[in-house]
Amino acid sequence: MKFGVVIYPGSNCDQDCVHVLRNVFKQDVRELWHKERDLDGCDCIVLPGGFSYGDYLRTGAIARFSPIMEAVTNYAKKGGLVLGICNGFQILCEAGLLPGALIRNRSLRFICKPVHVKVENRETAFTRFEKEILNIPIAHGEGNYFIHEDGLKRLREKDRIVFRYCGPDGDITDQANPNGALFNIAGIVNEDGNVLGMMPHPERCSEQEIGGTDGRNIFESILNTLNG
């Protein structure tokens, strides 16, 4: 399989994703510069974390207009798999591929620490695994997911909420919510289920040597889906 990792000015987690896909999972990886317009036949596109264009306007707002995003949007609309991590999630929302917005953490501080998330929907291409509670790091200043009440209702009705922040035992509480995200939302999919945006970083916990392997579940699910 061939994965494409999009790189913007300011991306800082792109090589983490490249490393995990290429060296841990032994997949073909194409590094896609933001000015490119060709996805080079990739089977899955990853929008990594970082600070695209320095977040100078609003997180993801400038990156959304990069030439590569026209190709990513067309690819997603045709059913191609797209994974947006952290800043990638923000870009997907700005591009209209996912609803809602990511705003400042309620603490108004950057947060970098491991958190627990509960898998709410196992029927997506990204969550076909047994484990229910994942321990995955976050690293963001604007991870507070917000959507209006009607939008949240539609997300819940269509089972589009994939991950929610929780305690180690799976209890979903305000104390377990690191950034104030509405309904403890940590990740959602689009209506067709082929585009996932998530704030936690699975690429940062895919090797035991760096502290854990819960993130492997997501990449393995993608590979299993692509391999049929």
Which of 94, 120, 142, 203 is catalytic? The answer is 203
Q: Which residue has the tokens 């950057």?
A: 110
Residue 185 CA, chain-centre distance (Å), reads 12
Q: What does the alpha-carbon distance between residue 10 and residue 14 come to, in Å, rounded to a whole number? A: 10
Which of 34, 116, 140, 201 is catalytic? The answer is 201
**Contact assessment for residue 188 and residue 157, using Cβ atoms and an 8 Å cutoff:** no
Largest CA distance in the chain: 44
Which of 86, 93, 166, 205 is catalytic? The answer is 86
CB atoms near residue 40 (< 10 Å) = 11
Told to judge if 203 belongs to the known catalytic residues of this protein, a careful annotator would answer yes
Q: How far is CA 226 from CA 16, 126, 173, in A?
A: 21, 10, 35
Task: Kindly compute the dihedral angle of the four CA atoms of residues 81, 134, 216, 93, in this order, to the nearest 10 degrees.
Answer: 30
Neighbouring-strand partners of residue 5 = 31, 46
Residues carrying an active site annotation: 86, 201, 203
